[in-house]
Amino acid sequence: MITFQILLFAGDREKMKSHSVEIAVSETATIGNLAEKLNQEYPSIFPRPEGLVFAVNRDYATFDQPISETDEIAIIPPVSGGYL
Amino acid sequence: MIIITDTPLDPNQFTEAVKGTAHGAVITFLGTTREETAGKKVLYLEYESYDPMASEKLHELCDEIRQKWAVKDIAIGHRVGKLEIGEISLVVALSSAHRNEAFESCIYLVDRLKETVPIWKKEVFEDGEIWVDAH
């Protein structure tokens, strides 16, 4: 397992009362796996994992993108209201 | 020139940065904080950015603009932190040889900025607060 410190902003940061959240996933995990894990561990804060938008190393990422230990991962809340 | 700062933005600084003798047109766009949203009075606003992704996305946007239009220079300033009503949250200054490129590219730039640059805005009301579209 690898533990990722996922950066949080705006409403997500306020709801989690933290600038980041730790999520552990397998070595072969993708962004989609991270989204599912976030939903399992914090269902009230991330009720729709399929609507989450992530950035990996400061670039928008797709759900099938693999992630590795040194990646900087962030959840990008909607900038125009409502999850995508 | 791209600046994301928690101190007040001076539009002249951005206009001067793009002015030049080869440029017939200079546009400076200001985004300012509104006192009302859907009939509700806004007390103040808070902007938050993901740095350095926000700066990187602004640089990418400038590259994209230069590929599409014959724009000479672009300067962008975005304020973050707490803003009072009527303050400047965004300055976009750009120059080109002729006015059409400047107008068109400025509209495109501000539209795209809202979609791709990770900066968020919170409106604070008397009876609550909400994170909204950043611009």
Residue B46: helix, strand or coil by DSSP? strand
Could you tell me which chain B residue has the CA closest to the CA of A7? B50
A10 CB neighbours in chain B (<8 A) are: 48, 120, 122, 131
The pLDDT of residue A84: 26
- pLDDT bracket for residue A81 (50, 70, 90): very low
- pLDDT bracket for residue A78 (50, 70, 90): confident
- pLDDT bracket for residue A67 (50, 70, 90): very high
Kindly list the structural domains of chain B, giving each domain's residue range(s) and its CATH number in brackets, ordered by start: 2-132 (3.90.1170.40)
Could you tell me which chain B residue has the CA closest to the CA of A76? B118
A49 vs A20: CA distance, rounded Å = 17
At residue B34, φ and ψ (nearest 5 deg) are -90, 150
The pLDDT of residue B132: 82
At residue B23, φ and ψ (nearest 5 deg) are -105, 120
Closest chain B C-alpha to A80 CA, distance in angstroms: 4
The CA-atom distances, in angstroms, between A17 and each of A45, A69, B48, B60 are 11, 24, 15, 32
Query: Strand locations in A1-84, DSSP E?
Result: 2-7, 20-25, 54-56, 59-60, 73-75
| A77 lies within 8 A of chain B by CB | yes
| B128 lies within 8 A of chain A by CB | no
Return the higher-pLDDT residue of A66 and B135: A66
ipTM above 0.95, yes or no: no
